[in-house]
Structure 1
């Protein structure tokens, strides 16, 4: 058993591995498209698909902990549906707005920090829970 403090601790690079796999898949699809071996639909190389790929990359980079990847991917999916189906914009964008509102309501709240005045000691105190302690 090694209890040496100076021994470096290896951290897993799951985000880098997932991002690398996503880039390999995108590169393979682009290469297959250049050889024209298979029929690849035009929408696969549209700008909404690039947004979806970028969102997947951002999610993998941060181990899907930050919500930015989901927002980018949802906008990409909404634009992809809107571009490929006639009249989809009447339905897609209200659903996206409702989904974003639902996410804002249901996301976990961060712990607020606040200062409060203690009457007994006549000083200001910092409290992470934002509730005065009696």
Structure 2
């Protein structure tokens, strides 16, 4: 996954650099081609393709990029910016509701299924059973803290947009494999997990940091207790730590 992220960022930098070089030879490109709304659209599209356009981060980037692209090119009146926040929140809320309603069920705890999800980047964590075994958080323009003491933790979904989320799993336990699908846009997520959990990162990140800051301990990791992190982080970060 890390090589894929580096490849994506490398392609974007390569394209911009090539265009700037050609410009020095007198080849003129449209002014809008390398504007910041187009860059947001490009990043949103790349993340969307990786996650089947079910990832909240890609939808937010595409929405913001489209709005400002249309406004900057005079397709929309210049005074429409005051409608950006309310319309954006309405669209995001509708997307989150539809996403929840179409979420798959019948979670079986099958590692092969999650391994396929990790490879294909498809969104939507199937959830079934006791709701307390999952963490579902949506922090939009705010900060949220949650703690789970579930002894059969199965994962969940975290969406953080222009905000911060702290999830304390230090007193939780899991049986087998759990998956946390994380979407971060200009925000941060901090996960506090036990030292002995095996944490696997399958997160796409662009201009972001994803780091396991747990100190090395004498207690070995238990392979049968595996936490998989999937999703996307753009202009933000995920930090995994322990007490």
Q: TM-score, normalised by structure 1?
A: 0.52
Comparing both structures, which one devotes a greater share of its residues to strand?
Answer: 2
Report the Cα offset of residue 50 of structure 1: 3.3
Q: Does residue 43 of structure 2 align to residue 71 of structure 1? A: no
User: Aligned residues, how many?
Assistant: 104
* 2:17 equivalent in structure 1: 27
Q: Does residue 30 of structure 2 align to residue 41 of structure 1? A: yes
Structure 2 residue runs of 5 or longer lacking an equivalent are 104-124, 134-148, 155-243
Report the Cα offset of residue 49 of structure 1: 2.4
Report the Cα offset of residue 76 of structure 1: 1.4
Pair 1:104–1:30, CA change in 2 (3 A) = same
* Contact 1:78 1:96 survives alignment (8 Å): no
Q: C-alpha deviations, 1:22-73, integer Å up to 9, x for none?
A: 3222222222223222x3111123232233345457x28xx44853233123
Report the Cα offset of residue 95 of structure 1: 5.9
Alignment partner of 2:97 out of 91, 98, 105: 105
Report the Cα offset of residue 75 of structure 1: 0.5
Report the Cα offset of residue 19 of structure 1: 2.9
Q: Provide the aligned C-alpha RMSD in A.
A: 3.7
Structure 1 residue runs of 5 or longer lacking an equivalent are 1-10, 115-124, 130-134
Q: Secondary structure at the match of 1:107?
A: helix
Comparing both structures, which one devotes a greater share of its residues to helix?
Answer: 1
Pair 1:15–1:47, CA change in 2 (3 A) = closer
Q: Secondary structure at the match of 1:13?
A: helix
Tell me, in whole angstroms, the C-alpha distance in 2 between the residues paired with 1:66 and 1:87: 27
Q: Which has the larger radius of gyration?
A: 1
Tell me, in whole angstroms, the C-alpha distance in 2 between the residues paired with 1:32 and 1:56: 25
Tell me, in whole angstroms, the C-alpha distance in 1 between the residues paired with 2:89 and 2:74: 19
